[in-house]
Amino acid sequence: MNDAIEVTDLSYRIGSSTILEDLSFHVPYGEFIGIFGPNGGGKTTLLKLLLGFIKPSSGSIHILGSYPSAARTTIGYVPQIARFDRKFPISVLEVVSMGLLRELNRFGTLNHQDKHRAHEALVQVGIEDLGTKPFAALSGGQAQRVLLARALVSNPKILLLDEPTASVDPKAESAIHDLLMTLKGQVTMLMVTHDLQTIMKDVDRLLFIQRNASLMNKDQVCGHFALGLYHSPLQGKLDVSR
């Protein structure tokens, strides 16, 4: 089995409105996919379906051969930093440790080895000196890297990222991209982004979501898309399955 993610005839509806319709695509293990499309096109909904937070109206999703809810142990998820209460009283190390909640012992604590893993995850994202800092005191870029460390601490096979560079400065954005490049090939990555120009050089392929899905090679992407001018027909609306 080479596919990390297999989506077949997937549709998602809320009441009478269709958010996603008949999506079918496969992502081989180790590939880095950039997900793009207009606002409200269904990108975040697709991530939530892949994570098993919501159930498809029809069709199926398999993550490493399992249903999404059963495959969560293999997935690391990096949400948008804007979604968080930035005044929440919690330290950086506590946030990262949340990626290891499965390892809690019966007394509700982590062992020494797991605490070390949390520290190593901070080293991996380059903010090991911030472990004891309050999450509230971090910049947007630092906070986003903390969420990345939280996703990486459990050594996931698949990494889902929802606009991880949306509210960070260019320096932090570059650092996050560099970090993702170190994971390329080892971890299957799907990253929602609006900044198509920046990620074009990093990703293997692109998934355009606007109710339907089109999986494209980089040379099939129209230059207009990088400017946010989405149109149809898409160049090369082919190669959908692989």
Give which of 68, 18, 19, 63 is closest to 39, Cα–Cα. Answer: 19
Interface mask toward other proteins for 112-151; x: CB under 8 A: ----------------------xxxx------------x-
In the bound complex, what is the minimum distance in angstroms from residue 48's beta carbon to other proteins? 9
**Residue 224, phi then psi, degrees to nearest 5:** -60, -35
In the bound complex, what is the minimum distance in angstroms from residue 122's beta carbon to other proteins? 17
129: CB partners within 8 A, 6+ apart: none
| 72 is a site residue for other proteins (CB under 8 A) | yes
| 77 is a site residue for other proteins (CB under 8 A) | yes
Which of the ranges 72-80, 191-199, 205-213, 227-235 carries the binding residues for other proteins, by CB under 8 A? 72-80
94: CB partners within 8 A, 6+ apart: 135
Angstrom distance (rounded) from CA 198 to CA 226? 9
Q: Which is nearer to other proteins, 62 or 72 (CB)?
A: 72
Q: Which is nearer to other proteins, 75 or 199 (CB)?
A: 75
182: CB partners within 8 A, 6+ apart: none
In the bound complex, what is the minimum distance in angstroms from residue 85's beta carbon to other proteins? 7
Among residues 17, 85, 201, 233, the one that binds other proteins under rule CB under 8 A: 85
Q: Which is nearer to other proteins, 100 or 221 (CB)?
A: 100
Angstrom distance (rounded) from CA 172 to CA 129? 16
Among residues 8, 11, 84, 157, the one that binds other proteins under rule CB under 8 A: 84
Residues that bind other proteins (CB under 8 A): 51, 53, 72-73, 75, 77, 79, 84-85, 88-91, 94-95, 97-102, 104, 107-110, 134-137, 150
